[in-house]
Amino acid sequence: MPPSPVDQNVPLTRLAGSALGLLLFGMMVLRGLCAGNSVEVVLNRAMWGLLGGLAIGLCAGGLAQRILRDGSGPRTDSHSSNPNTGEPSGDGAAEAASR
């Protein structure tokens, strides 16, 4: 199985931005041509769509990359377990230690 883009150190922000920008560019070209608009109008609108999609994709990719980076750290939930012993914390810790 080929490695994912994250494994290849491709920034998620650039990947999402370029993918969304190109998707919007293609959709706007097809829609403009199907509507019978002139080539100049179609390309002008498609370029604005490309820039808008790039901006939205960069924001979404940056947010996703931050979520993935922050979520990949160690879990420090005080209710799940004691990080030093691995035993459940709270009232159940004494009960688990006595078993």
Q: Is the pLDDT of residue 14 over 80?
A: yes
- pLDDT band with cut points at 50, 70 and 90 for residue 97: low
Report the 10 Å Cβ neighbour count for 44.
Answer: 14
Cβ neighbours of residue 63 closer than 8 Å, sequence gap 6 or more: none
> What pLDDT was estimated at residue 2?
61
Q: What is the rounded (10 degree) CA torsion for 11, 16, 18, 23? A: 160
Out of 22-36, 41-55, 73-87, pick the least confident: 73-87
Q: Which residue, among 13, 17, 21, 14, has the nearest Cα to 50 in the 3D structure?
A: 21
Q: What is the mean pLDDT of the segment spanning 53-58?
A: 91
Domain locations along the chain? 1-68
Which pLDDT value is given to residue 35?
95
Average pLDDT of the residues in 65-69: 85
The dihedral of CA 52, 57, 62, 67: what is its sign? positive
Q: Which residue has the higher pLDDT, 42 or 6?
A: 42
Residue-level pLDDT at 37: 93
- Residues 69-79: tens digit of each pLDDT: 887 767 665 55
